[in-house]
Amino acid sequence: MAKVSIPTVTLNNGGKLPVLGYGTWLGFDEKLDPRIFDVPKLIETLSYAIDIGYRHIDTAHFYRVEPEVGQVVNEKIKLGIVKRDELFITTKVWQNYHREADVEVSVRASLKRLNLDYLDQVLIHWPVSVSENGVDEKIDYLETWRGFESVLAKGLTKSIGVSNFNVDQLRRLLANCKVIPATNQIEVNLNLGQNELVEYCQSHNIVVVAYSPFGTMVPGQGPPDSPEPKLNNPTLVAIAKKYGKTVTQITLRYLRGLVSIPKTVTKARVLENATIFDFIIDDDDVKTLAQFNNGYRTVTSNFYQDYENYPFEKPSGEKQQLPSSFLKWKNGVNGDIE
């Protein structure tokens, strides 16, 4: 069986995070419900990913797949394929658990669903706080962060971080926290370089984890009128050919050493996405690739745009209604608990 060797980056608490992880968000179907029907494929590909050497897994309460992620992980540990302390498992607290005391409830429930004793990292999924009924609760993320510091102190997780925080929100958090976030998980791809935010994080010893690393390049991600580059973009195809790599491998390798967490439920792509550490893109090609950076977001969550702490510039275009899948979901269906 093929094996991959994925380098690590050291977090500000000394933890080691593999720079390429396995993303477990299955995406939305046409009704904006999570593509839970892909769970059998996820089980198969995550299992393969661990077999070939992936050690970093990114999940979230919102993704509805914690029980299956836990099932695969525990099986691999039982079979002796990997030890728990060789894995780095991240989950996220959803926006309706932002009260200080609720953070622990959420983290304990994630641990139960994952059937694990501890997490390697827990993130505030979004800085906005929204009730199960879609109401903007306006809970200060500083309060939520106190809950995070508490679960860290209790040993429920080895590190804590944030996601979708902008520079102003990080600046305020850093001025008012005891524990500096270890990571900020944000969208970064060819269209969205996020240079200012990345530089801010790096200058404060916060590791950037790039989600949606392919942006709208791959079919099914984003609207049809989303900007170039797509998989068949001639510039990208030529660069890929030069290095004997695929366009997606060039895209991941280009991410300036940031951690990335591509998602795939296709076995061959699990291997492809991790086979990127054996070449370096030269300066001229880096400059060419940088020209695709036009600030276009794949993930706008535009339905939050009027909520307090919405982290992005107000998107243009029609505001979507908050999808029902963002509200309370049915406990029990996926091993969720009260």
DSSP for 249-264, please give it: HHHHHTSTT-EE----
Residue 24 found at the interface with ligand NDP (CB under 6 A): yes
Mask 259-298, x = binds ligand NDP (CB under 6 A)? --xxxxxx--x--xx-------------------------
Q: By the 8 A CB rule, do 106 and 93 touch? A: yes
In terms of Cα–Cα distance, which of 100, 60, 21 is closest to 263?
21
Q: Which of 106/212 has CB closer to ligand NDP?
A: 212
Give residue 68's Cα distance to chain centre.
Answer: 17
Specify the amino acid at residue 243. Y
Six-digit token pair at 137? 């609760």
Q: Active-site residue 63, yes or no?
A: yes
> What is the closest distance, in whole angstroms, from the C-beta atom of residue 191 to ligand NDP in the complex?
11
Residue 80 CB, shortest distance to ligand NDP, in Å, is 27
Which residue, 47 or 221, is less far from ligand NDP as judged by CB? 221
Which range touches ligand NDP (CB under 6 A), out of 80-88, 111-119, 149-157, 215-223? Answer: 215-223
Taking phi over 0 as left and psi of -120 to 50 as alpha, with beta for the rest, 110 belongs to alpha
**CB nearest ligand NDP: which residue?**
23
The residue from 48, 54, 63, 211 that is catalytic is: 63
Give the integer Cα–Cα distance in Å for 164 and 141: 12
Q: Does 71 bind ligand NDP (CB under 6 A)?
A: no
User: Looking at the DSSP assignment, which residues form a beta bridge with residue 88?
Assistant: 56
Token pair recorded at residue 207:
């590791």
The region that residue 222 occupies, defined by phi over 0 for left and psi between -120 and 50 for alpha, beta otherwise, is left
Show the tokens assigned to 90: 């991240």
Q: How many residues bind ligand NDP (CB under 6 A)?
A: 26
Query: Does 98 show up as a binding residue in the annotation?
Result: no
Would you count residue 127 as binding ligand NDP (CB under 6 A)? no
Residues 176 to 195: which contact ligand NDP by CB under 6 A?
185
* Residue 68 binds ligand NDP, judged by CB under 6 A: no
In the complex, the smallest distance separating the C-beta of residue 270 from ligand NDP, rounded to whole angstroms, is 8
Name the 3-class secondary structure at 184.
Answer: strand
Give φ, ψ of 303 to 5 degrees.
Answer: -65, -20
213 binds ligand NDP (CB under 6 A): yes
Instruction: Give CA 247 to chain center in angstroms.
Output: 21
Contact string (CB under 6 A) for ligand NDP, positions 140-169, x = contact: -----------------------xx-----
Interface ranges with ligand NDP (CB under 6 A): 23-25, 58, 125, 163-164, 185, 211-214, 218, 220-221, 248, 261-266, 269, 272-273, 299
Active site residues: 63
Per the annotation, binding residues for substrate are 125
